[in-house]
């Protein structure tokens, strides 16, 4: 519920405060006094775009602030928490337009974007202005009206849940298919590369080891010469190094009893002799391993050449890199096969969900169809009461593929003159008629709506007499369940208000006119309504009539 509306420096409004009660708040005043300007300011905190032309004082910012009682608004606290905003009651929503033209929105003093602002205020206020009823021409809105009247909450929630799940699965399935298509474009080439590496069959470090082996074979003669010469010096020369060490060891052993310290030295010499003897044996073995076989050399060279080719092809630098690439290719090819399994499972799940969605959609569609006869009968009766005696409402209902809000194409059609030709209401009805149609719809859906505040701008346009009285009664009935704010020019409607506001212009000291608003006490209210009946100087009869309307 709107507890307080504060407007500063907006169009011809310098400073204005509106504090509506919980019932039917009627706003009256002369044409041009600023009634619709108040709604224009209110629309700012409802998320509409700002315009710097509204700044009456170009040196100060414009401000519109609404204080809302939100303790009984289902889900409002959760929306705030999801947006990481503080929950406070009342909730204060504010829009500011700076002198530079920059617009900012705040919820409980925390800046928010217009998307979030729209989401929040859509849970608080429903504003109906002339020529602003495009929703009547929308399938989703029409279906929502039938659902509210039929109390289809459980069925609509079930359908929406299945629809959202189906959309999620469809998107996931499409993503998997796109990924598979991309992989399949590359699969043949990857398979070729994988087969090529598998046929090459390189073992770990093979290219590097083979390079070294070829280098050894290319220098076989030199290696043999060095090994042979070295071993000869150690064992086969005129004075073999190994034999000389053995002689020296015997000589030292001969003086060991004369110089005991020489024993340790001799032991070390014997160890050196044994090590050199072993080295000589290793050299002989190495010499025997040197192979200069031309056929082996050719085979090894071919192997290295293949390795170089693959290293260059895959931008690798060693055998380990090729082995890693081979492993990765195998994994990617396997992933393509695994993806086929995943797609098949996802498709089955998506198909199952679609079947459940279609079943839920059929059920919801049937429920909506069952509501249509009663809805049209009640609407046509109410339209006659509000001055549209010749108008007839008809509901176009056609089955469609599953959509966000059901499997139905639903439109409200109207025949305004009993011609038998029905057209969409948006194309046929005038602004005033649209407002009254919306009022009738709101009256029928009042019990199902959670919106605490309904605002109507001249819903009684172009009617009078009994029709205006009926509009007033409908508004008063709505006010039993919702806070209603209504701008009106009809005394029958104004008199139904539980609180009556009067909008007027007042000259400031500077001579500039500004919009003011005040609550009318009983006698002032009677006089204001009398003036609506009989002009600026109402007769006693007009005053008596006004008093009777108010007392009723």
* Burial of 238 per CB tally in 10 Å (0-12, 13-18, 19+): exposed
Structure tokens at 128: 């109906």
Which one-letter DSSP state was computed for residue 416? T
Same domain as 538, residue 462: no
Q: How far apart are CA 271 and CA 399, in angstroms?
A: 103
The DSSP annotation for 192-257 comes to HHHHHHHHH---TTHHHHHHHHHHHHHTHHHHHHHHHHHHIIIIISSS-HHHHHHHHHHHHHHTTT
Same domain as 551, residue 499: no
Does residue 293 form part of some domain? yes
CA angle 296, 302, 307 (to 5 degrees): 130
Does residue 268 form part of some domain? yes
Beta bridge partners of 517: 503
Same domain as 2, residue 117: yes
For 542, other C-beta atoms within 10 Å of its C-beta total 20
Q: Which portions of the chain are predicted below pLDDT 70?
A: 128-139, 431, 447-451
Parallel, antiparallel, or unpaired for β 125-128 and 453-457? parallel
Asked whether 50 and 97 are in contact (CB, 8 A), the reply is yes
Q: How far apart are CA 136 and CA 145, in angstroms?
A: 10
Q: What pLDDT is attached to residue 216? A: 80
For 134, other C-beta atoms within 10 Å of its C-beta total 10
The DSSP annotation for 437-494 comes to HHHHHHHHHTTT---SEEEEESTTTT--HHHHHHHHHHHHHHTTTSEEEEE---HHHH
Does residue 337 form part of some domain? no
Parallel, antiparallel, or unpaired for β 483-487 and 24-29? parallel
Indicate if the alpha-carbon torsion angle 46, 52, 513, 60 is positive or negative.
positive
Does residue 298 form part of some domain? yes
* Domain extent for 222: 206-317
**Distant-in-sequence, close-in-space partners of 538: CB < 8 Å, separation ≥ 6:** 527, 530, 531, 546
**In the β-sheet with 483-487, what is the strand arrangement from edge to edge?**
125-128, 453-457, 483-487, 24-29, 499-507, 513-519
Backbone angles phi, psi at 103, to 5 degrees: -110, 140
For 270, other C-beta atoms within 10 Å of its C-beta total 15
Looking at the 3D structure of the chain, how many domains does it have? Answer: 3
| Domain end marker among 317, 343, 370 | 317
Same domain as 118, residue 220: no
Same domain as 108, residue 57: yes
Does residue 144 form part of some domain? no
Q: How far apart are CA 228 and CA 517, in angstroms?
A: 120
CATH of the domain at 96: 3.40.50.300
126 in helix, strand or coil? strand
| Domain end marker among 317, 334, 367 | 317
Same domain as 22, residue 72: yes
Backbone angles phi, psi at 92, to 5 degrees: -105, 120
Locate tokens 């407007």: which residue?
7
**In the β-sheet with 91-97, what is the strand arrangement from edge to edge?**
13-18, 2-10, 62-68, 91-97, 103-107, 110-112
Per the document, the length of the chain is 552
Q: How far apart are CA 46 and CA 66, in angstroms?
A: 10
Same domain as 39, residue 68: yes
Asked whether 38 and 517 are in contact (CB, 8 A), the reply is yes
Q: How far apart are CA 415 and CA 428, in angstroms?
A: 8
Same domain as 113, residue 4: yes
260 in helix, strand or coil? coil
pLDDT per residue over 320-336, tens digit each?
Answer: 988 898 888 887 777 77
Q: What pLDDT is attached to residue 354? A: 94
Does residue 243 form part of some domain? yes
Same domain as 531, residue 503: no
Same domain as 481, residue 545: no
Does residue 460 form part of some domain? yes
Beta bridge partners of 104: 96
| Domain end marker among 259, 290, 317 | 317
Same domain as 56, residue 117: yes
Q: How far apart are CA 31 and CA 309, in angstroms?
A: 90
Locate tokens 């020296």: which residue?
248
Q: Is the bond preceding 202 in cis, omega lying within 30 degrees of 0? A: no
Asked whether 426 and 456 are in contact (CB, 8 A), the reply is no
Give which of 375, 489, 431 is closest to 147, Cα–Cα.
375
536 in helix, strand or coil? coil
pTM: 0.64
Q: At what angle do helices 262-289 and 220-231 cross, to 10 degrees?
A: 150
48 in helix, strand or coil? coil
Q: How far apart are CA 107 and CA 87, in angstroms?
A: 9
Same domain as 92, residue 21: yes
CA atoms within a 13 Å half-sphere pointing along the CA-CB vector of 486? 35
Does residue 17 form part of some domain? yes
């Amino acid at each position: 519920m709107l507890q307080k509306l504060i407007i500063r420096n907006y169009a011809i409004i310098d400073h204005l405060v509106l504090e509506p009660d919980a019932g039917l708040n009627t706003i009256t005043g002369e044409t041009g006094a600023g009634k619709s300007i108040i709604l224009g300011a209110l629309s700012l905190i409802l998320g509409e775009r700002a315009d710097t032309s509204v700044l009456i004082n170009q040196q100060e910012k414009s401000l519109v602030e609404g204080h809302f009682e939100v303790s009984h608004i289902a889900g409002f606290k959760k929306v705030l928490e999801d947006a990481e905003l503080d929950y406070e009651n009342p909730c204060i929503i504010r829009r500011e337009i700076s002198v530079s033209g920059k617009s900012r929105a705040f919820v409980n003093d925390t800046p928010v974007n217009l998307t979030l602002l729209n989401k929040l205020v859509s849970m608080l206020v429903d504003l109906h202005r002339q020529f602003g009823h495009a929703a009547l021409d929308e399938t989703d809105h029409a279906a929502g009206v039938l659902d509210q009247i039929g109390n289809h909450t459980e069925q609509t929630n079930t359908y929406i849940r299945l629809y959202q799940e189906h959309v999620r699965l469809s998107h996931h399935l499409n993503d998997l298919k796109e990924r598979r298509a991309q992989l399949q474009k590359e699969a043949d080439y990857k398979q070729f590369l994988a087969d090529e590496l598998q046929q090459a069959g390189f073992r770990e470090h093979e290219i590097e080891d083979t390079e070294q082996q070829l280098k050894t074979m290319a220098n076989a003669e030199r290696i043999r010469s060095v090994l042979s010469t070295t071993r000869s010096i150690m064992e086969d020369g005129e004075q073999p190094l190994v034999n000389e060490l053995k002689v020296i060891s015997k000589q030292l052993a001969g003086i060991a009893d004369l110089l005991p310290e020489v024993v340790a030295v001799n032991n070390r010499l014997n160890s050196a002799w044994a090590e050199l003897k072993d080295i000589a044996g290793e050299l002989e073995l190495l010499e025997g391993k040197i192979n200069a076989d031309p056929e082996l050399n050719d085979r090894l060279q071919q192997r290295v050449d293949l390795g170089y080719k693959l290293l260059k092809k895959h931008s690798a630098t060693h055998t380990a890199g090729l082995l890693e690439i081979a492993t990765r290719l195998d994994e990617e090819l396997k992933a393509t096969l695994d993806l086929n399994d995943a797609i098949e499972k996802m498709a089955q799940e998506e198909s199952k969900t679609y079947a459940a969605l279609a079943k839920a959609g059929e059920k919801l569609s049937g429920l909506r169809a069952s509501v249509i006869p009663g809805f049209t009968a009640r609407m046509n009766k109410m339209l006659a009461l509000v001055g549209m005696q010749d108008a007839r409402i008809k509901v176009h209902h056609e089955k469609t593929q599953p959509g966000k809000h059901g499997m139905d194409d639903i439109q409200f059609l109207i025949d305004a003159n009993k011609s038998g030709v029905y057209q969409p209401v948006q194309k046929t009805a005038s602004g005033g008629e649209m407002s009254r149609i919306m009022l009738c719809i709101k009256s029928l859906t009042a019990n199902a709506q959670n919106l605490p505040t309904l605002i109507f701008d001249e819903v009684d346009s172009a009617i009078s007499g009994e029709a205006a009285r009926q509009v007033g009664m409908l508004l008063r009935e709505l006010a039993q369940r919702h806070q209603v704010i209504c701008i009106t020019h009809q005394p029958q409607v104004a008199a139904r208000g539980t609180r009556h506001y009067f909008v007027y212009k007042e000259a400031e000291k500077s001579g500039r006119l500004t919009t003011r608003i005040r609550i009318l006490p009983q006698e002032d209210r009677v006089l204001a309504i009398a003036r609506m009946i009989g002009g600026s100087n109402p007769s006693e009869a007009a005053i008596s009539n006004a008093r009777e309307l108010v007392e009723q």
